[in-house]
Amino acid sequence: MIQLSNISITASDPSGQRRVAVEDVPADSSIGELIDRLSGAMNLGTSDRRGRPLTVQARLEREGRHLHRSERAQDCLKPGDHLVVHPKIAAGGRRA
Partner 1 sequence: MQFKPPGVTRAAPGGPTEKHFMIINHHTYSLEYRDLGGRRLAQLAAEINFEPASECTTLAAQRKAHPSVTQARRNTTTIIEPIPHSTAGSPYVSGFAVKIGAEGIESFSREFPTSYFRAAAHAGSAALVKKGVMKEGDRFHYLVAAHPQVGALTEKRRMIVQQIEQPLPLRDGKLAEFTKQSVPFGELLEVDPPVYLPQEVIEQANALTERARDKETGGILIGHLYQDSSIPDIGVVVTAQIPARHAQGKSTELTFTPKTWAAVRDQIALRDRGEIMLGWWHSHPGRYWAATTCAKCPPERRRVCPISSNFFSAHDENLHEKIYPKAYSVALVVTNTEEGLRQALYGWRDGRIQQRGFFIQRNQDRPLTAIEAVATPEDHDHEKTCT
Chain residues binding partner 1 by CB under 8 A are: 6, 8-10, 13-26, 29, 33-34, 37-38, 41, 43-45, 48-49, 55-57, 59, 66, 79-80, 84, 86-96
Nearer to partner 1, 2 or 49 (CB): 49
Q: How far is the CB of 74 from partner 1 (least distance, A)?
A: 14
Nearer to partner 1, 2 or 64 (CB): 64
Residues 70 and 30 sit within 8 Å (Cβ to Cβ): yes
Q: How far is the CB of 90 from partner 1 (least distance, A)?
A: 4
Question: Given phi > 0 = left and psi -120 to 50 = alpha, else beta, which region is 63?
Answer: alpha
Cα-to-chain-centroid distance, residue 15: 14
CA distance 90 to 56: 12
Residues 6+ apart with CB under 8 A from 65: 59
Nearer to partner 1, 1 or 93 (CB): 93
Q: How far is the CB of 2 from partner 1 (least distance, A)?
A: 20
